[in-house]
Copies of this chain bind each other. A is one copy, B any other.
């Protein structure tokens, strides 16, 4: 059991209506138990397409996981395709129907049990994994020593099915290899220069280690992955290789374990017992969302404010009206006063502020779309930065600015 193939079934992904996040979740979970996803097929909900893709997938991998296409409505055809592919017939599974009854009962919806009865029909040869958070069961099929699991498409049903049922099943029934990954976060060196600086190191990596470059904003993540049968040995191998990086690019390494910048920040702040707050205009809450997306953030995040209207910046954050009149609301000076006011309002060691124009509409003071000023205030030291990124769409602009601010703050905390 080394290679998995994922099949995402659903016209809503192909039409651009929905972003497929299930594949990402499943790939991460499988990676943690040493199973590599070698390919993902995203296909439409048509019987022939599903059958052909199952065929290709079983040729490529030992494990096939499908998501989607199991709802109670007319446009879902996955179950039929499954039965045809495995030369099986679809029959009512009593256990599954009882589970369904219990599910409906707990929700006070026994009135619609009959309407959902079809959900309890499964291929006769399948092993059913019951869905605790929805009505479509997960079905496991076997083919020549290979396995397939068919799941519904709703992310909050997929996650517990994978985590609590499929992963434990795979761990119990197969001898799995370990895959251990470390992420080295590097800031301030463009990807091409970084590649040059560590080329000799990269060329001498052991055979069972692989390296990838993932540029995110102004940070490059180096992902180092080791495969083998002894987890401890792999961890040691990775540690040794990472140590060799420090003489080469040590000053630019901000973390060697955590992947997400908000977690790196969380660890730094917890370690140093520092608190933080945010005052956001153009990022509209994304900065607070990003910081609080880290579990345990209530230990250091005291609060945030989104004073979108200019008068709220003046009233709540005590930004001076003169400053706004003289420099306009999208200015270095207003960013600084927002940070100062925020630090006082929430009584924190650190405060972050943003003021800018995310677009596509122009700002009220005529500042160009894509302009942002942000201030990072640590104790009584502050730094203000300007970015101008007219090429980014609204959502990307907000994301980029928020990521970059946290990266800058991490760098300031690490390097002083």
Contacts and interface: CB of A to CB of B under 8 A. Distances in A.
A303 B393 CA distance: 22
A266 to B, nearest CB: 12
A71 interface: yes
Q: Which of A14, A135, A202, A358 has the largest number of chain B CB atoms within 10 A? A: A14
Interface string A130-174: 001101000000000000000000111001100000000000000
**Which size class do A's interface residues fall under?**
35 or more
Contact of A285 (B42, B193, B210, B292): B292
A230 to B, nearest CB: 21
A181 B11 CA distance: 13
Contact of A223 (B17, B24, B301, B364): B17
A115 B214 contact: no
A42 to B, nearest CB: 4
Contact of A14 (B36, B160, B213): B36
B31 A15 contact: yes
A251 interface: no
A212 B75 contact: yes
Contacts of A74: 195, 199, 202
B288 A306 contact: yes
Interface string A15-46: 11111110111111111000011111111100
Contact of A359 (B191, B295, B309, B360): B295
Q: Which of A19, A212, A302 has the largest number of chain B CB atoms within 10 A? A: A212
A17 B214 contact: yes
Interface stretch (A89-97, A238-246, A332-340, A395-403): A395-403
A32 B22 CA distance: 25
B391 A156 contact: yes
Interface in A344-378: 345-346, 358-361, 364
Interface string A390-416: 011111101010000000000000000
Contacts of A30: 16
B41 A14 contact: no
One complex includes copies of this chain to the number of: 2
The main secondary structure of chain A at its interface with chain B is: mixed
A383 interface: no
Nearest to A215: B154
A338 to B, nearest CB: 12
Contacts of A286: 285, 289
Given A288-B306, A312-B303, A155 B396 contact: yes
Nearest to A312: B303
A214 B18 contact: yes
Interface in A175-218: 181, 190-193, 195-196, 199, 202, 210-215
A72 interface: yes
A293 B301 contact: no
A123 interface: no
Interface of A: 8, 11-21, 23-31, 36-44, 49, 71-75, 109, 112, 115-116, 132-133, 135, 154-156, 159-160, 181, 190-193, 195-196, 199, 202, 210-215, 221, 223, 225, 259, 278, 280, 284-293, 295-298, 301-309, 312, 316, 345-346, 358-361, 364, 391-396, 398, 400
Nearest 9 interchain pairs by C-beta: A285-B288, A284-B292, A16-B28, A16-B27, A40-B42, A285-B285, A285-B289, A304-B306, A72-B192
